[in-house]
Structure formats: C-alpha cells, structure tokens
Amino acid sequence: MRAQAFPNWNGERILPPVAPTSLDGAYAHCAAIAARHYENFPVASRLLPPAMRPHITAIYAFARTADDFADDEGRPADERLRLLKEWREKLHRTVRGQGETDPVFVALGVTMKQRDLPVQPFEDLLSAFEQDVTVQRYETWDQLLDYCRRSANPVGRLVLRVANVRDAGAEQASDALCTALQLTNFWQDFAADWHAGRLYVPREEFTAAGASERDLDAARMTPEWKTAMRACVTRTRARFDAGRPVTDAVRGRLRFELRATWLGGSRVLQKIQEGDYDTLHSRPKLTAADALRILPATLLWKNRT
C-alpha cells in the first residue's frame, strides 16, 4: 500500500496521548492521522457518508502507521519487521478482545465489531508491508499483482464492507480499481522509488523492451524505458476500465467518492502518457485545474457498458 509524500514514522508520538477509554478520542486520533497526509486519492473525504467516515479513518490509521514502519529507511530492516510484528500482535489482541489501549486499535476494534470486518484483509496488508521491507524488485507481473492483491485490494474490500455491500461482482471491480490505483502510484513515483532502491516495473516487461537498469543509474529515460512504461500504463488502464462498475455497486455519497477516486487516478495515468512516459524526470500530479475537471465529471458520470 505504498503512498507518496508522507513523512516517515519517527518512533515518537506525533499526536497528543488519547485516553484508552475515550472512544471519541480514539476516532479523533485516527482522523488526525488521515488529515496529516496528502494523497491523490483522498481518504475519508467530505464525499463519504458521515456514518462511514470514522470507520474508514480507523482502517486508514491502522494501514498508514504500519506502512510508515515499513518505509522508514532510517531504521534497520530487522527493526522495521519487529515493529510490524508488534502491530500484528496488537491486531490479534484487539480481535481477541484483550483490551488493547493503543487509540488506533481502540477505534479499530469497535469498527471491526460494528461493521463485521474479517481479520484477513488486515493480515494481508501487514504481509504486504513486510514484503516492502525485504523486496525491491519484481521479476514478473504475477509477482507484482500478488503484491497489489495484498497491499491495495484489501482496502477496497473493507470500504465495501463498511458500506454494507456484500457482492462478489462489486468486490472484483473494487479489486481492479484498487490495483489500478496502486500501479498508477508506482508509475507516478518511478523516480522516487528508484532513488530509494525500488523498481516496480517487472523485469520481464523492461527486458522485453530492451531496457536496462544501467540507464536509470545514468538518469536516462531511454526509448526502451518509455516502451516499457507505455506497456505498464496500458495494463493499468485496463484495470481502471474493469474497476469502473464498482461505482454502481454503492449508493449515496460513497458513489461520488468512488467516481472522484476513479477519475483522479485515471487523470494521473493520462498525465503520464502526456509526459511521454518520462516519470524519471517529472512527477505528474493533480492540480486545481484537474479538480475543476473532475468535479463536473463526477456529477455527470455514466458507466460504460
């Protein structure tokens, strides 16, 4: 579940302590974590139904904190894995009702009970974060998509469950959209990931295009790398198309949230194409002008058949 432009977890409490018996305070703590972070695809925005918002922020706070553990390059790998193990132990204590006092888990425990959330999506997220610590390359598309299955897709399924949607077709469309968003983030953050030692373009894709990591070392976005990136964008666009119907699987304000999310991610993908697939030297991002385009498109939305 990699996310961009977030400050790393530094081992210090970044918010005032919250009394473990204060449920409102625990949810406020989670909301503050979400509010601190900017993403292309907003979490718990005003478009979400108010009844869903606290539950979504609890899920987000769980995932965001664990992701920060995994991404903290200032800590040795074994320490990051230890922090993730401790986070998993807190999850298990929460599921067992053993009185976990961390405000994130105070809120999450109530959310899991009230919305009947299974533990497996949370386990999948943690397994993906652990993989972030130890894996910097992907040989095949199957390997990368398996990572997305655990790092991105659980979030969409949890959102549907919070919305009381229990439909296999909706879940499949959600998986496609979440994977598309994750892949878009990879191509958007191509340069930052490379400088951090990570490469998400599968080796089978860039070697087929004749590209080499040596060119990236020399800061050259060669025609071969653009060919590989073009193929990645094409695959990702197909995932967006497959995920579009999830917006018709929900009702009310959540429908507008998912439309805006789809449109925002698709727009970033379009900007990558407009930039001739060179995200090694320029990072595409959404602007105020893009927001002005997305708003009417959200209201005038029509699903393709």
Confidence of residue 39 (pLDDT cuts 50, 70, 90): low
User: pLDDT tens digits, residue range 61-109?
Assistant: 999 999 999 999 899 999 999 999 999 999 999 999 998 899 999 999 9
Q: 182 and 152 in contact (C-beta within 8 Å)?
A: yes
Task: Tell me what pLDDT residue 89 has.
Answer: 97
- Helix 120-134 to helix 53-71 angle (10° resolution) is 20
Total number of domains constituting the chain: 2
Q: 91 and 59 in contact (C-beta within 8 Å)?
A: no
**Same domain flag for 166 and 128:** no
**Same domain flag for 147 and 21:** no
**Same domain flag for 168 and 38:** no
User: Which H or E run includes 12?
Assistant: none
Task: Tell me what pLDDT residue 96 has.
Answer: 94
| CA distance readout (Å), 262 to 108, 141, 182 | 26, 22, 12
**Same domain flag for 18 and 107:** yes
Q: What CATH code is carried by the domain that includes residue 304? A: 1.10.600.10
| Among the listed residues 17, 6, 26, 13, the one whose alpha carbon sits nearest the alpha carbon of residue 68 | 6
**∠128-143-273 over CA atoms, to 5°?**
95
Domain span including residue 293: 137-305
User: pLDDT tens digits, residue range 137-179?
Assistant: 999 999 999 999 999 999 999 999 999 999 999 999 999 999 9
**Same domain flag for 196 and 269:** yes
**∠86-31-23 over CA atoms, to 5°?**
75
Higher pLDDT, 227 or 33: 227
